[in-house]
Amino acid sequence: MADDQPHHEAVPSAGGSAAPLRRRVLGALTLTAAATGASLVLPGAAVAATRAEVRRVTILEAVTWTYDRRTKTTKVTKARRRKIKAKFVGAKVYRRDAKGRWRRIPYRWDRRKRALVYSHALDLALNPKRAAKPKPPPAKVDPRAPSTGPVAASARAVTPYVGTSMAWHLARRATYGPSPALLAKLGTSRASMTAWLDAQLAPSRIPDELCGSVLRRLSPYLSRPIYDLKYAIDTKVKIDDKVVTANDVQLDVARAHLARALWSERQLLTVMEDFWGNHFNVPLPQDASALHRADYANVIRARALGRFTDLLRAVEMHPAMLSSLGNRFSDQGHPNENQARELLELHTVGVEAGYGETGVVNSARILTGLSVDAADETYDYRPGWHWTGKVKVLGFTDANASRSGGEAVALRYFDYLAKHPATAKRLARKLVTHFVSDDPPASLVDRLAGVYLHTGTAIAPVLRTLFTSAEFAASAGAKLHRPFEQLAAGVRVLSLLPDNPDPNASDPVRRAGVQSLVDLYARAASAGHAPFGWRPPDGYPDVAAHWLTTGATLTAWNNKRDLCSLSTPGTLTCVGRDGKVTAANAQLGTKNNVLLALDMLLPATLPASNGQVVSAVGRRLFGMTLSDREITAVCTLLGVKPTDTPDAKPNPSTRDLNKLVTVLMDSPYGLAR
């Protein structure tokens, strides 16, 4: 190969004998994860060129640079190395834009570096209105102040399997997954995305009728006070001829969260309910907290975007937490260290703060007397059980001189821990790990911790700073779906709606129209990720490495296959572009009441070739264009030629559409969160 030609690598032919469905597609779309599961990366072999002038090459994307106007030379001081597909016409270089069109870019081939390098002189020639001088550095701001700026205009992907659309990136992280309706609300402008984020941070003003109707049908007891629920269970009150048990109510708590994840308009609130539910983990089902778990979820939901100080107080004094960790029985003679230890280690400062065993003992003494009234199972402070005497935990000290004042000591202690810098750092790191990367950038962690302390532990300003940060914008593709998130994202992207009540059904679940929630909860549980089902007190792991197992992958494949065919998830409804079940779908009945709504997955005019059908469905599911090689591989799996019209059978636009969607959702394109 001559030095003045772009470097590319050859790959074997995509032909060969037929193989099992997923093995063939994953052979074409290989996913490799870093040890921490932090990102998706390209396979070792580059994509073969489809035309003589198109090559797979390395580009050194300029991040920072200086420009000498006299000599017209560009010195790049920081660049990102990436592989791209580029078209060369003489010395001109072209790259596909977001709409798939070839656009000339201000890069030239460097023979020595064997890569495309940035030329600001060429950039000015191509864009004469652009100022020649670099932008001045931003004005210095208080690093503790929350962001007041807008969402970034576009994202930057760390993997080729996600695009650069900020709307898609924001939808993948701040919600349980993009849906056509959500993407329409987000729009494409910074103003519309920022307005959506602002609304999500004040969710009480967002109408939520669809989800509300499902929750009312699911269980009328989820919003009842603890004592009311206890009475109903103790007296064996029947609902739809079925005696309600504490276990039933617990499962309905998890199913209610699933309903919110799938259909609530208050998506960021629901994501944060899950985040805090795992941070303050009280697993369900669990006998000790069975009566309290519904109210516990309501308490977290009401404070999920408020002040952490208020959330911490409410959680630590809630009967569910006091019962789950045994503090309801903690008295001056036998201080129980379980909740006292988790309060320090998991809920606030972390072991790195150095409180030691003495700190744990004193923490347990402070919490003595925080208990539960056995008569109605509500919170009760018992002064006679409180340990008195001086206590010291880290920088918190109190004379703790009276039993009657013990509750006030505990409240001051919670406030101290909530406002501790170690708590700020720990919460910031967990938030960045969840929303940005398994390897959280220290710069963003420090900034969020500063905002948290500066705003008096307010959660919403921290989230706003996170979602408007450069680190968030640069993290597209750096997180993977966990099993429950995969399931929820699949329902949302396919626009599947709840099943309707059937007043004539003998089964009370189908009569209420919540069979799909029962089935989908069982699928999440089979994948090891039922909502709030993690047994240890630390909550579900939030990094990809934990979930990249053979068993979890196989279960996820099966769940998506059945979801795409609607063979088991209750009677979910698939609607068309007009919001109604299409005639073709209605003819299939309730077992397979879907061809995945052709008019929701394809343009109004059917594409002219099978390859274009695959491409259109890929754009609909992932918001980006699949490569020619990937389109060919998928068509090969379906036994069709990319260039044939979709009228022949089998074809990906009718009978095999479910299979096509399953294949694409199982590919690396469907794994990124």
Residue 513: per-residue pLDDT: 82
Give the domain extent around 92.
Answer: 49-140
Contacts of 261 (CB under 8 A, 6+ apart): 176, 270, 274, 484, 488, 531
Total domains in the fold of the chain: 3
182-186, 327-331, 502-506: the lowest-pLDDT one: 502-506
Q: Are residues 239 and 120 in the same domain?
A: no
**Measured between alpha carbons, how far apart are the two ends of the chain, in Å?**
39
| Mean pLDDT calculated for residue range 42-62 | 62
SS3 228: helix
Segment 504-509 shows an average pLDDT of: 79
Q: What is the DSSP string of 5-52?
A: S--------S-SS---HHHHHHHHS--EE-TT---EE--SSPPPPSST
Q: What pLDDT, on the 0 to 100 scale, is given for residue 141?
A: 66
Candidates 627, 625, 629, 617; CA nearest to 657 is 617
Whether 376 contacts 228, CB under 8 Å: no
Can you name the residues that pair with 87 across neighbouring β-strands? 54, 94
Whether 19 shows a pLDDT value over 70: the answer reads no
- What is the rounded CA–CA span in Å between residue 176 and residue 401? 49
Q: Is residue 152 part of a domain?
A: no
Query: Which region among 43-57, 77-91, 500-514, 558-572 has the lowest average model confidence (pLDDT)?
Result: 43-57
Q: Taking the model in full, what pTM does it have?
A: 0.78
Does residue 220 or residue 584 have the better pLDDT? Answer: 220
Going by pLDDT thresholds of 50, 70 and 90, the confidence category of residue 589 is very low
**Hey, is 92 helix, strand or coil?**
strand
Q: Are strands 92-96 and 102-104 parallel, antiparallel or unpaired?
A: antiparallel
Lowest-pLDDT choice from 48-52, 274-278, 347-351, 417-421? 48-52
The model's confidence at residue 480, banded by pLDDT at 50, 70 and 90, is: very high
> Do 501 and 439 sit in the same domain of this protein?
no
Q: What is the model's pLDDT at position 500?
A: 81
Q: How confident is the model at residue 521 (pLDDT cuts 50, 70, 90)?
A: very high
pLDDT tens-digit series, residues 370-423: 999 999 999 999 999 999 999 999 999 999 999 999 999 999 999 999 999 999
Same domain, 322 and 424: yes
Are 436 and 402 a contacting pair, CB within 8 Å?
Answer: no
Mean pLDDT rounded to a whole number for the chain: 84
In this predicted structure, the answer to whether residue 613 has a pLDDT above a threshold of 90 is no
In a domain, 473, yes or no: no
User: Taking the alpha carbons of 193, 445, 529, 29 in that order, is the dihedral positive or negative?
Assistant: positive
- Residue 559 in this model has a pLDDT that exceeds 60: yes
In whole angstroms, give the CA distance from residue 77 to residue 542. Answer: 35
Verify cis geometry, omega within 30 degrees of 0, for the bond prior to 203.
no
Picking from 648, 649, 655, 652, the residue whose alpha carbon sits closest to that of residue 632 is 652
Asked if the structure places residue 232 within a domain, the reply is yes
Does one domain contain both 247 and 353?
A: yes
Asked if residue 181 belongs to a domain, the reply is no
Q: Residue 42 pLDDT > 60, yes or no?
A: no
Same domain, 538 and 606: yes
Q: List all residues 6 or more positions away from 303 whose beta carbon is below 8 Å from its beta carbon.
A: 310, 311, 314
The pLDDT confidence band at residue 177, using thresholds 50, 70 and 90, is very high
Instruction: Verify that 135 and 86 share a domain, yes or no.
Output: yes
Q: Which of 140, 171, 200 is the last residue of a domain?
A: 140
Q: Give the tens place of pLDDT for each residue, 253-282.
A: 999 999 999 999 999 999 999 999 999 999
419 and 525 share one domain:
no
pLDDT attached to residue 666: 87
Structure tokens belonging to residue 196:
């959506």
Which pLDDT score is estimated for 105?
Answer: 92
> What pLDDT sits at residue 60?
92
* 436 & 506 share domain: no
- pLDDT tens figures, 292-314: 999 999 999 999 999 999 999 99
Question: Considering only CA atoms, which of 145, 137, 122, 115 is closest in space to residue 55?
Answer: 115
Position 592 in a domain:
no
Check residue 471 and give its pLDDT.
Answer: 97
Last residue of a domain, one of 89, 119, 140: 140
- The 3-state secondary structure of 462-517 reads HHHHHHCCHHHHCCECCCECCHHHHHHHHHHHCCEECCCCCCCCCCHHHHHCCHHH
- β-pair type (32-33, 242-243): unpaired
* Rounded Cα gap, residues 514 and 501, in angstroms: 8
d(CA 87, CA 109): 12
Together in a domain, 222 and 104: no
Tell whether 411 and 540 lie within a shared domain: no
Contact by Cβ (8 Å): 272, 201? no
Q: Say yes or no: 490 and 439 in one domain.
A: no
Indicate whether 116 belongs to any domain: yes
Q: Which of 117, 140, 163 is the last residue of a domain?
A: 140
Q: Which has more pLDDT, 17 or 460?
A: 460
Same-domain pairing of 217 and 133: no
Give the DSSP H/E element, type plus range, for residue 541.
none
Distance CA 414, CA 430 (A): 20
Q: Do 520 and 254 touch, CB atoms closer than 8 A?
A: no
Residue 561 lies in a domain: yes
- Give residues with Cβ within 8 angstroms of 189, minimum separation 6: none
pLDDT of 7 over the 80 cut? no
Instruction: Using DSSP, state whether 602 is helix, strand or coil.
Output: coil
pLDDT band at 16 (very low <50, low <70, confident <90, very high): very low
pLDDT tens-place string over residues 433-445: 999 999 999 999 9
- Note whether residue 17 is domain-resident: no
